Structure 1
Amino acid sequence: MKKNVLIIGAGGVGHVVAHKCAQHNQKLGAIHLASRSLAKCQQIIDSIHARGSLQGPGILEAHALDALDIEATRALIRSTGAQIVINVGASFVNMSVLRACIDTGVAYLDTAIHEEPEKICETPPWYANYEWQYRDECAAKGVTAVLGIGFDPGVVNAYAALAQQRWFDRVDSLDIIDVNAGSHGRYFATNFNPEINFREFTGQAWTWQNGQWVSNQMFEVRRTDDLPVVGTQSTYLTGHDEIHSLSQTLKIPTIRFWMGFGEHYINVFTVLKSLGLLSEQPVKLDSGQEVVPLQLVKAVLPDPASLAPDYAGKTCIGTLLEGEKDGKPREVFLYNICDHAETFAEIGSQAISYTAGVPAVAAALLIADGTWDVGHMANVEELPPLPLLTLQAGMGLPTRVKEGSHDVALEEAPEIRA
């Protein structure tokens, strides 16, 4: 049993994680929130008190931290007595925070693969470039490290594992589909950290097709689906974190990721990229000062957390599997619908942050009670999927299963395999 949580990161996802931890503080214990900006941490804590999110009396404290400073992170883990660290800072800090967790013997969770600021879309598989280098050490020291436990990556990985176990004898293809059918009313904005958001789409789109890595350009390949609730939506093939673990763990020949984009987003993105404003490489101004164009664009765009009050509409994120069962072709779609207005009413968040943050807290609860406290490093698809999906359903993210005209809640879906 583990208790006391340190949350690193005070952005939109950090806001969700802190609120959801507060709603379960009787099981999770003391809650500490750390970021370079102490003020942002305090704002989140103030909002928790204002909305009455605390389940019961307990410790809720803010701390200033540069998470790239491994020694400072180790010291904060020790001083707070945290046994679970939820890293929802920028993905640039993953390796530093993971190192601090291994050194102090505490559980580690994150929601995305590590990135280096000067590198974009490295040679796959990305996990092997970074976090997986610590697998042996985590196992040797008995440290639980759960990688990529947001929604995508995260819940979609659990969907893939559950479906493969329960409804298929053989899976031929796995397509993750992510559509935000909501509107925030701004001329242009990103739903999470703009720097991280743009980096996903400015390089090669690596996907796993017919048992090998294939590279495409962003917006080169498009598909259209009639999705539950949000209707007919066009999505584009892109690279994404979960492909880099699922391709190695589930042994499915074709694994792709599709994300929805409106024409306006594509047009603005294309102009920014064509002008060089999405470059991660520094440029020198006439004054002699150096700036990174991508960081400048991030600075002038709206803070994703500020979008929440005006957001309307829903998201649809799911995993579509095609294969065979009992000699017959089969297609199953596991998915979640999340409403922007409902998440704002509950905790003051928009749905994109909500879908990323809730699973991380569900995972922390599973580590706290021992279910997922496995004592080694694991991606989500390597862990029992049902405890996660069952727990998060009661936390605001229920799962549905669609096969043909049948569309039911996960708990009502037929049991195919014990």
Structure 2
Amino acid sequence: MKKNVLIIGGGGVAQVVAHKCAQHNDLLGDLHIASRTKSKCDAIIASVHEKGAMKVPGTFEAHAVDAMDTAAVVALIRQTGAQIVINVGSAFVNMYVLDACIETGAAYMDTAIHEDPEKICESPPWYGNYEWKKREACEQAGVTAILGVGFDPGVVNAYARLAADEYLDTVASIDIVDINAGSHGKWFATNFDPEINFREFTGTVYSWQNGQWQSNKMFEVGQEWDLPVVGKQKAYMTGHDEVHSLSARFPEADVRFWMGFGDHYINVFTVLKNLGLLSEQPVKTAEGQEVIPLKVVKAVLPDPASLAPNYTGKTCIGDFVRGTKDGKPAEVFVYNVADHKEAYEEVGSQGISYTAGVPPVAAAILVANGTWDVKKMANVEDLDPKPFISLLNRIGLPTRVKDADGDRPVDFA
């Protein structure tokens, strides 16, 4: 059954979502995209048509909406007849869009956890502060709400569930490793919204170890990982969304997230932080003008979407899952490798946006055909990973597994 889709957002990830929805509009129906700035949506739709991405003739329309105005989102959902809302806007808008979906009955999905602009790094588990409080409302309304269905969080959650279901008998630890071995050619830039990027790395690093939350500082704990294709890479334990849901599903396992950072990024980040330029608290200039330092830094850095044309290299993101198999210690690495240049050639975005934008479209297709239309709130690890990973294999994000039996594609056929 076709289900019309409304995409919320106008950035690099939204562009990927738009192209992928267009490539599968025979399964999804009418398409709509909305952000605060309609011209961004118009440009995305133009790029869809330039690439000839629409699989079959159909509707793809742009709209303006303030996604922090629930009533406006409700009106737009009803106006467009959207039955699935893919929210890839700022992390600040999640709860407003979710409330609109609960009111209208539309299915909801996002790719990152909700954040309050006034707060940085709230107490764990992060999902418990906002999203999980709406579980009952979703179930009462029969609304499917899939949380964090990007790559990380999202696909990596499915990888953890797959490892537990298919490759191991018990799970002792889950280490999610995210390496971007690409180069954008800029002196300094962030791969996604600088404000969200810096907020993510200025707070406490929470991990789930020994059955409890552990706190560390950013860049305090580092480790070298030897990965397929990209080789040996230094990564640091980082606070991240999926730790806060996987720790609830696998409470007996240690759950950690590791992200790769180069020395240059760390040096620039440290200087900005020490100077107070990553603060979200307003300050007054000598001229009496009030500014928020973090927003000023965001304004002077390159737009992440502008990095795509010259981005080269690959990403490697996956889960090292350790436990036992047949009574013996075992380890499995479930992973994906994506290419920045290939992503740009296909959809006009860089690889980071590509890995974040393809999974929610796969989830939308699974909701549309009923496979994942669960009529309640779920994190990705709560859902059967096989149809999700199988679909991703076909639409641009193939999964591989490396264990004692070798390195091979994941194939459920």
For normalisation by structure 2, the TM-score amounts to 0.99
Q: 1:397 corresponds to which residue? A: 397
SS in 2 for 1:124: coil
SS at match of 2:411: helix
Structure 2 residue identity aligned to 1:238? T
For residues 12 and 225 of structure 2, the distance between their equivalents in structure 1, rounded to whole angstroms, comes to 29
Partner deviation per Cα, 1:363-389 (whole Å, 9 max, x = no partner): 000000000000000000000001000
Q: Distance in 2 between matches of 1:182 and 1:88?
A: 23
**1:227 alignment counterpart:** 227
In the other structure, the counterpart of 2:201 is 201
The code of the aligned residue for 1:332 comes to: V
Distance 1:110 1:411 in 2: 26
C-alpha distance in 1, partners of 2:136/2:309? 45
Say if 1:174 and 1:252, in contact at 8 Å, map to a contact too: no
Determine the structure 2 residue equivalent to 1:267.
267
Partners in 2 of 1:394 and 1:168 — Cα distance? 25
Q: For residue 39 of structure 2, what is the amino acid of its counterpart?
A: A
2:373 paired with 1:373: yes
2:160 match: 160
Q: Distance in 1 between matches of 2:164 and 2:280?
A: 39
Q: CA deviation at 1:250?
A: 2.5
Identity %: 67
Give the Å deviation of 1:287: 2.6
- Does the 8 A contact of 2:238 with 2:259 survive in 1? yes
Q: Answer whether contact 1:183 1:313 (CA < 8 A) is retained.
A: yes
Deviation at 1:347, TM superposition (A): 1.0
Spell out the pairing of 1:100-249 with structure 2 (5 A cutoff).
100-249=100-249
Show structure 1 runs of 4+ deviating over 4 A.
none
Structure 1 counterpart SS, 2:213? strand
Q: Is the 8 A contact 2:223 2:236 kept in 1?
A: yes
In 2: Cα distance, 1:56 partner to 1:386 partner: 27
CA distance in 2, matches of 1:209, 1:410: 29
Shift in Å, 1:405: 6.7
What corresponds to 2:292 in structure 1?
292
**Given residue 230 of structure 2, which amino acid in structure 1 is its aligned partner?**
V
How far apart are 1:167 and its partner, in Å? 1.4
Q: Give SS of 2:117's match.
A: coil
1:202 CA displacement = 0.4
CA distance in 1, matches of 2:144, 2:266: 40
Task: Give structure 1 stretches of 5+ with no counterpart.
Answer: 414-418
Distance, in Å, in 2 between the alignment partners of 1:30 and 1:337 is 31
Aligned-partner Cα distance in 2 for 1:387–1:367: 11
The answer to whether the Cα contact below 8 Å between 2:313 and 2:341 also exists between their aligned partners in 1 is: yes
TM-score with structure 1 setting the length: 0.98
May I ask how many residue pairs the two structures share in their alignment?
413
Q: 1:161·1:250 contact (CA, 8 Å) conserved in 2?
A: no
Unaligned runs of 5+ in 2: none
**Which residue in 1 is equivalent to 2:20?**
20
SS at match of 1:92: coil
Quote the residue 1:35 is aligned against.
35
Question: Alpha-carbon deviations, 1:43-100, whole Å to 9, x = none?
Answer: 0000000010111100010000100011100000000000000000000000000000
Task: Deviation per CA, 1:248-290: give whole Å up to 9, x if none.
Answer: 1233420000000000000000111011000111112223222
Quote the Cα distance in structure 2 between the aligned partners of 1:65 and 1:224. Answer: 44
Cα distance in 2 for residues equivalent to 1:387 and 1:271: 45
What residue is the counterpart of 1:99 in the other structure?
A: 99
Counterpart position of 1:90: 90
Q: Once superposed, what is the RMSD of the aligned Cα atoms?
A: 1.0
